[in-house]
C-alpha cells in the first residue's frame, strides 16, 4: 500500500535500514516483504561522501547502535536534497535543526488523505498494521484522524 502511495516518485532505502529490517524479520517475518518492495531503491553507503555524511549524522543524533538507520536516512536525504522519512522524534528534531526536510509516516499518510489517494479510515488501518509489526508511531490507528488534525496534517 505504501508503494501505491509513492507511485511515480523516487523512494530510497539506505542499506543500513535494509539490514535493520532483515534482522527484525527474524522475529517479525512480515517485515521481510519490505525487502522485496520494488518501489524502494536500495542505496549503499559506498562513497566517501556518503560515509562522511553518515558519520556526521551519527555524531549529531548519537547513533551508537540505536540510530544507525536514522543517520543513514539523513545522510542520503541531505546528499540528494530529498525529504527524509523517519519516525524518531529526537532524530527528526536534530535533522530540522540542520535544515533537512524531514517528516514521519503519519505525515505521509495524511498527505495521501489530502491528495485523495487514501481515506482517513484506510490510513488508520495502515497505522494499525504498521504498529503490529513493532513500528513505533505517535498514535494508534483509531487516533489517526484526531492526531493528524491536531497537528495540522489534514
Q: What is the pLDDT of residues 22-43, one digit of tens each?
A: 999 999 888 888 899 989 999 9
- Whether residue 21 is found in the same domain as residue 95: yes
Q: Which of 36, 38, 91 is nearest to 66 (CA)?
A: 91
In tens digits, the chain (154 residues) has pLDDT values of 778 888 788 999 999 999 999 999 999 888 888 899 989 999 999 999 999 999 999 999 986 767 899 999 999 999 999 999 999 999 999 999 999 999 999 999 999 999 999 999 999 999 999 898 888 899 999 999 999 999 999 9
How many other C-beta atoms can be found within 10 angstroms of the C-beta atom of residue 8?
A: 5
pTM, two decimals, is 0.89
- Whether residue 56 is found in the same domain as residue 86: yes
- Whether residue 130 is found in the same domain as residue 89: no
Give the chain's domain count: 2
- Whether residue 119 is found in the same domain as residue 94: no
Q: What is the reported pLDDT for 8?
A: 81
The C-alpha atoms of residue 56 and residue 26 are separated, in whole angstroms, by 30
Where residue 89 sits, what CATH number does that domain have? 3.40.50.1010
- Whether residue 55 is found in the same domain as residue 94: yes
- Whether residue 80 is found in the same domain as residue 135: no
Q: Residue 128 sits in which domain range?
A: 105-150
Q: What is the reported pLDDT for 12?
A: 95
Q: What is the pLDDT of residues 131-141, one digit of tens each?
A: 988 888 999 99
| 60 three-state secondary structure | helix
Considering only the C-alpha atoms of the chain, give the largest distance between any 2 of them, rounded to a whole number of Å.
44
Amino acid at each position: 500500500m505504501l508503494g501505491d502511495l509513492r507511485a511515480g516518485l523516487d523512494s530510497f532505502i539506505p542499506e543500513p535500514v535494509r539490514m535493520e529490517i532483515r534482522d527484525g524479520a527474524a522475529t517479525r517475518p512480515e517485515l521481510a516483504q519490505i525487502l522485496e518492495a520494488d518501489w524502494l531503491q536500495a542505496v549503499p553507503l559506498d562513497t566517501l561522501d556518503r560515509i562522511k555524511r553518515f558519520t556526521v549524522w551519527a555524531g549529531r543524533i548519537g547513533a551508537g547502535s540505536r540510530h544507525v538507520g536514522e543517520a543513514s536516512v539523513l545522510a542520503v536525504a541531505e546528499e540528494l536534497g530529498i525529504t527524509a522519512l523517519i519516525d524518531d522524534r529526537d532524530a527528526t528534531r536534530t535533522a530540522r535543526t540542520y535544515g533537512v526536510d524531514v517528516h514521519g509516516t503519519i505525515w505521509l499518510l495524511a498527505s495521501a488523505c489530502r491528495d485523495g489517494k487514501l481515506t482517513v479510515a484506510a490510513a488508520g488501518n495502515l497505522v494499525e498494521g504498521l504498529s503490529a509489526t513493532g513500528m513505533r508511531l505517535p498514535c494508534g490507528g483509531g487516533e489517526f484522524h484526531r492526531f493528524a488534525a491536531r497537528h495540522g496534517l489534514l
